[in-house]
Structure 1
Amino acid sequence: MTDLSVRQIPFTDASGAEQTIDGAGADVALVVNVASRCGLTPQYAQLEQLQRAYGDRGFTVLGFPCNQFMGQEPGSIEQIQEFCSTTYGVTFPINGKTKVNGRNAAELFKALKQTPDADGKAGRVEWNFEKFLVSADGSVQRFRPKQRPDSPEVVAAIENALTR
């Protein structure tokens, strides 16, 4: 996907205000649907490492709590933020709870899901911690949940996006 408009699709931040990727103030964003009670929850630590490593270069992680996968994000936004900051030291934005699949999926995720992964498969978000790297030009790369945020493929994609 190379449509700049993905950067301008509104979503709801943690305070309930409308926000966009452009409005988040980063040239490159890693959009991730997150959950606090998932086997992949330790990925928060790697996401925070990426935020700390690249944040001063125009990069941000944007976390979107999602309770659509076996109810693994049941808390309020305040509880989720508290968990993220105290357990993993998260400094990146945790936005409002978001639906990523189905008829009521957020518009941002409807657009992001059109992007195929490395195997050429687009469509539904498979599980918590699916990652979408949105570049300054609006192009998107997709990484599936089990691919660690600090994997060589994700790190290379971030570095490439930041040098374009």
Structure 2
Amino acid sequence: MTRPRPTELHDRLRGAVGPVVDAAGLLLEDVTVAAAGRRKVVRAVVDLPDGPGGVDSDRLAEVSRDISRVLDDVDLVEGAYTLEVSTPGADRPLSEPRHFRRAVGRLLRLRTTDGKDVTGRLREADESGLVLDVDGTRRELTYDTVSSARVEIELSRPEEA
């Protein structure tokens, strides 16, 4: 059997795993294969399609079992492998409107395309842009003016957030 090129393997894995994740009502963010000694690690990152909240551990375990069954059936990964299914985590970069919608109410640190750093609480996000509360001042930004953004991890959040 000819080994698939890395991008071809990635596409084939997405094609096999994507429908399973979709059927679980989740979104496949990414799937990768990496070497780990003599074994390989298949990493699938899943998330809710939109809205607040996160993927609970029961749902994550269920989709993990379903992905494992599919990978065993299609035999895309040569040799022994370990499957890791996770969510993106709070520290992932925010790069799509749905990422921002899921972060409404959270404190963000972002950099604008003109190089300015901005920290503020995300109050609104839609398909065209976002609204931050920056020290009591409303600041509206379109996504094309944001070069990078992340949620700031807060150990205790203010009540109004």
Q: TM-score, normalised by structure 2?
A: 0.25
Higher RCO (CA-CA < 8 Å; seq separation 6+): 1
Q: More helix by proportion, 1 or 2?
A: 1
- The structure that has the greater radius of gyration is 2
Q: More strand by proportion, 1 or 2?
A: 2
Q: TM-score, normalised by structure 1?
A: 0.25
